[in-house]
Amino acid sequence: MSGTRRALVSTPSLLPLTASLLLVAACHSSPEKEQEKLRQQLSSWEATEHLASELSERGALPGVYARQIAEVVQQGKQKVRQQAAKSSQ
């Protein structure tokens, strides 16, 4: 009976350690997953750029907005490329 009692007492002390290990494991991203995430982000920026261009050509997007979107897209793509370069080092 004292063996059971000892197991019950020591189990709660393992909970913070177990929770910490699970948190670290969940937060850690493999390089492959990080690269895939960056590819998806770049693809999203390119899709935004394509849609804005299409809308602008049809006259559905004022020129000032098209220029603003183009600027933000270029900044976003540059940021993704910088992140990709950092993660590949």
Structural domain spans, the chain: 2-87
pLDDT at 31: 83
Between 14 and 75, name the one with better pLDDT: 75
Predicted TM-score (pTM) of the model is: 0.66
Helix-strand-coil percent breakdown of the chain, rounded to 5? 90, 0, 10
> Does the pLDDT at position 83 exceed 70?
yes
> Does the pLDDT at position 79 exceed 50?
yes
> Does the pLDDT at position 19 exceed 90?
no
The DSSP element (H or E) to which 2 belongs, if any, is helix 2-27
> Does the pLDDT at position 45 exceed 70?
yes
What integer is the mean pLDDT of 31-57? Answer: 94
Concatenated DSSP letters for 25-85? HHH---HHHHHHHHHHHHHHHHHHHHHHHHHHHTT-S-HHHHHHHHHHHHHHHHHHHHHHH
